[in-house]
């Protein structure tokens, strides 16, 4: 039981800037204490670990390099820096992109040419080959995997990036460790202290009870949520793969250990910390073990701690969950905007794929009300593809409200993208089909799902152009909707699916690898060959980034309003800033779509002339019974002039 008289450690009075630390710590101390207490007050290690927590915070502050303290001050001055329209990200695997961290330093010009100034490096910390889940099974949170280089290489990269004003994002894989992590090894060997770091059980009683209500994450490759460990004759919780052991956050020692790892990353100069799979970090029998209130408490606690010792680091919650659930990750009530600063806009990502397959935007529009009202100061990662599968994670009622049968609609989408629908140009595959529920997600690269792979195979120039138009349409919506656009590497030059994973036993069980290409820099040079698909996609992407950068209305100040639907093929919204308004229109149909000019007149002042920033063309606004005609798979960024 935590007493009211818990003493905070005496911080050394002469330490440089201790006043600043004390100021920030006192401001947060009450919240930190009550959040922590609500989880751990009855735990026997509660008191001791709370004192350790304060020490972790103080050490993190003291170990933070002066240049990072300076960055904290600059970001504070700038206000909500992560909402800015000048940030564009790319997510990449260091080894598959260019081999090593040192090689990546030599690629910084490439990002600058494209306009990317924010890099998400897929996990680079030690992870056993063959049982790595793309690096998400970490065996040492503080050691860079030798495949990529060393910790010093990572530091050097970060410093180079920082000199170029580029931001860095790394992951903290909070929910689990590799079964080769030293904690897991000790637990397996029978060490009682470390056994409490995990959910270990002597028989199937509790595992069975848990599994009754826990959905399976990888039903094909890793069915069930527990794995038998013969060495200690126990069952351990493994929600993801059998080699990823879930950490037990009901143990405060685990929390404080992981908090220390968070500050280790913060002090490497991380600007955005991607918290992997936060929905899963608290488990309780009788629930889905996802999105539990205690998971939110933990995130709020992390947020408060980070504000004390590394306030320049923003937190991204990778919660790929239902629309109404994801909003909770921004924090609610007294903790609004005090949980995750950024969340994945997975709902809109999936809805864009829905619109592309159906040619219609009704479901997209039906879903928006659920995800529109996030707290000021928070933002989305907007994206079309990432390293994971596409889950059709929006709700059935949204599909029904749009006039479709949810089961049939989802079936159509899965068929459309996995090559089972006659007439679809998409080349992809179903990921993690659940034999019990027929649930499935979708794998494939942006280009292949947009039809480039089949168009190239058939040598059909018209189809190639259509695929390119679709690629840019998809990117454009995610670039202008508000949030930090995150490209997935390879998509900027139109990489199609890579099937080499099928012959690698460490990957063949997981078809997400088809959309995690190995970059061939000779092939990539085609971006310089005028008229090649690579060049058109690269230049189009580059122009999109530049256009976004040129206009503050594309920052995310909750300054988005959707247009009323006047045509079921066209998604449209207004981005505004002070007096400025920009109409963004996206035609998801393979045919021209007509939009009454009245669509531009519903809000005052009524424009008379519009300038399309994308094509550099002017339009005179016509009478209400005449039409703006949107070309197939085209988008328009129209500003009243
Ligand atoms: C996240 C990652 C995914 C990984 C999972 C387990 O969802 O994005 O790639 O498989 O967490 O760590
Ligand atoms: C995590 C993500 C989910 C993804 C899965 C595997 O569970 O939340 O979207 O499908 O990892 O990639």
- The ligand with the least distance to the CA atom of 171 is 1
Residue 8 clears pLDDT 80, i.e. is over it? no
513 contacts: CB under 8 Å, gap ≥ 6: 498, 501, 504, 507
Task: Name the closest-CA residue to atom 1, ligand 2.
Answer: 277
Q: How far is the CA of 387 from the centre of ligand 1 (A)?
A: 9
42-51 pLDDT tens trace: 999 999 999 9
The Cα–Cα gap between 407 and 438 comes to 10
Mutation to probe ligand 2, out of 239, 389, 433, 509 (largest number of atoms < 8 A from CB): 389
Is the pTM higher than 0.85? The answer reads yes
The 3-class secondary structure across 318-381, one letter per residue, is CCCCCHHHHHHHHCCHHHCCCCCCEEECHHHHHHHHHHHHHCCCHHHHHHHHHHCCCCCCCEEE
> What residues are paired with 442 via a beta bridge?
390, 430
Q: Label residue 327 left, alpha or beta by phi (over 0 means left) and psi (-120 to 50 means alpha).
A: alpha
CATH of domain 560-640: 2.60.40.1180
Catalytic residue among 95, 133, 271, 276: 276
**Mean of pLDDT over the chain:** 96
Q: What is the mean pLDDT of residues 463-469?
A: 98
Beta carbon of 320 within 6 Å of any ligand 2 atom: yes
406 contacts: CB under 8 Å, gap ≥ 6: 396, 399, 400
148-177 pLDDT tens trace: 999 999 999 999 999 999 999 999 999 999
196-229 pLDDT tens trace: 999 999 999 999 999 999 999 998 888 899 999 9
**CA nearest 469: which of 240, 636, 234?**
636
Beta carbon of 346 within 6 Å of any ligand 2 atom: no
Q: How far is the CA of 108 from the centre of ligand 1 (A)?
A: 26
Taking the domains of the chain in order of start, what are their residue ranges?
76-178+249-553, 560-640
238-262 pLDDT tens trace: 999 999 999 999 999 999 999 999 9
Known active-site residue 276: yes
Catalytic residue among 145, 271, 318, 556: 318
The Cα–Cα gap between 313 and 145 comes to 23
307-326 pLDDT tens trace: 999 999 999 999 999 999 99
Residue 107 confidence (pLDDT) = 98
**Per the structure block, which two tokens stand in for 1?**
């039981």
Closest-lying ligand 1 atom to the alpha carbon of residue 387: 9
Closest-lying ligand 2 atom to the alpha carbon of residue 218: 6
Q: How far is the CA of 320 from the centre of ligand 2 (A)?
A: 7
- Pocket around ligand 1 at a 6 A CB cut-off: 133-134, 136, 173, 240, 276-277, 318, 387-388
Residue 493 φ/ψ, nearest 5 degrees? -125, 20
Residue 15 clears pLDDT 80, i.e. is over it? no
Buried-state track 189-204, b at ≥16 Cβ within 10 A, e below 16 = eeeeebbbbbbbbeee
For residue 302, the number of C-alpha atoms closer than 13 Å in the C-beta half-sphere is 35
**Per the structure block, which two tokens stand in for 10?**
């005496």
**Per the structure block, which two tokens stand in for 315?**
């937190």
Residue 4 confidence (pLDDT) = 47
435 contacts: CB under 8 Å, gap ≥ 6: 219
Q: Do 560-640 and 76-178+249-553 fall under one CATH topology? A: no
Q: Which fold has domain 76-178+249-553?
A: TIM Barrel (3.20.20)
398-448 pLDDT tens trace: 999 999 999 999 999 999 999 999 999 999 999 999 888 889 999 999 999
Q: What is the mean pLDDT of residues 546-569?
A: 97
505-514 pLDDT tens trace: 999 999 999 9
Known active-site residue 318: yes
Q: How far is the CA of 397 from the centre of ligand 1 (A)?
A: 27
């Amino acid at each position: 039981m935590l007493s009211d008289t818990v003493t905070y450690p005496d911080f050394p009075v002469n330490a440089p800037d201790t006043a600043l630390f004390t100021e920030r710590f006192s401001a947060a101390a009450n919240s930190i204490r009550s959040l922590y207490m609500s989880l751990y007050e009855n735990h026997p290690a509660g008191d001791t670990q709370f004192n350790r927590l304060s020490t972790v915070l103080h050490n993190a502050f003291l170990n933070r390099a002066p240049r990072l303290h300076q960055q904290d001050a600059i970001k504070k001055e700038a206000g909500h820096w992560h909402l800015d329209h000048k940030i564009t990200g790319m997510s990449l695997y260091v080894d598959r992109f260019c081999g090593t961290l040192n090689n990546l330093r030599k690629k910084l010009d490439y990002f600058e040419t494209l306009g990317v100034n924010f890099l998400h490096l897929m996990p680079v910390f030690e992870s056993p080959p063959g049982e790595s889940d793309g690096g998400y099974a970490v065996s040492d949170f503080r050691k860079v995997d030798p495949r990529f280089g060393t910790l010093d290489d990572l530091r050097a990269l970060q410093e180079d990036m920082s000199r170029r004003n580029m931001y860095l994002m790394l992951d903290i894989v909070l929910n689990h460790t590799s079964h080769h992590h030293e904690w897991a090894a000790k637990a397996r060997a029978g060490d009682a202290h470390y056994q409490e770091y995990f959910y270990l059980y002597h028989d199937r009683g509790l595992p069975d009870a848990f599994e009754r209500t826990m959905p399976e994450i990888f039903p094909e490759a890793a069915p069930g949520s527990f794995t038998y460990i013969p060495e200690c004759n126990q069952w351990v919780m493994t929600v993801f793969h059998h080699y990823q052991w879930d950490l037990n956050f009901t143990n405060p020692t685990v929390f404080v250990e992981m908090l220390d790892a968070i500050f280790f990353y913060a002090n490497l100069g991380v600007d955005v910390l991607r918290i992997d799979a936060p929905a899963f970090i608290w488990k309780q029998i009788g629930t889905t073990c996802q999105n539990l209130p205690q998971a939110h408490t933990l995130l709020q606690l992390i947020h408060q701690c980070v504000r004390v010792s590394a306030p320049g680091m923003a937190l991204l919650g990778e919660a790929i969950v239902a629309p109404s659930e994801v909003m909770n990750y921004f924090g609610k009530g007294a903790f609004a905007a005090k949980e995750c600063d950024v969340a994945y806009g997975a709902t809109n990502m999936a809805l864009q794929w829905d619109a592309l397959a159906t040619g219609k935007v009704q479901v997209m529009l039906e879903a928006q009300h659920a995800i529109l009202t996030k707290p000021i100061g928070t933002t989305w990662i907007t994206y079309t593809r990432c390293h994971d599968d596409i889950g059709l994670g929006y709700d059935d009622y949204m599909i029904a409200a749009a006039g479709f049968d949810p089961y049939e609609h989802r079936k159509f989408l899965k068929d459309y993208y996995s090559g089972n629908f006659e007439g679809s140009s998409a080349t992809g595959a179903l990921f993690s089909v659940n034999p019990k529920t027929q649930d499935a997600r979708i794998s494939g690269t942006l280009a292949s799902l947009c039809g480039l792979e089949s168009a190239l195979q058939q040598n059909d120039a018209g189809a190639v152009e259509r695929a390119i138009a679709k690629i840019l349409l998809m990117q454009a919506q995610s670039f202008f909707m508000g949030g930090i656009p995150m490209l997935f590497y390879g998509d900027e030059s139109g990489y199609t699916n890579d099937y080499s994973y099928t012959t690698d036993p460490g990957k063949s069980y997981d078809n997400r690898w088809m959309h995690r290409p190995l970059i061939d820099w000779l092939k990539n040079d085609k971006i310089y060959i005028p008229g090649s698909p690579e060049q058109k996609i690269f230049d189009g992407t580059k122009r999109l980034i530049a256009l976004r950068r040129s206009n503050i209305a594309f920052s995310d100040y909750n300054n988005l309003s959707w247009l009323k639907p006047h045509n079921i093929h066209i998604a449209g919204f207004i981005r505004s800033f002070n007096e400025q308004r920009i109409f963004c229109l996206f035609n998801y149909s393979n045919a021209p779509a007509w939009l009454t000019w009245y669509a531009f007149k519903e809000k005052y002042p009524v424009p008379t002339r519009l300038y399309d920033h994308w094509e550099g063309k002017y339009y005179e606004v016509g009478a209400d019974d005449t039409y703006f005609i949107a070309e197939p798979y085209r988008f328009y960024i129209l500003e009243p002039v």
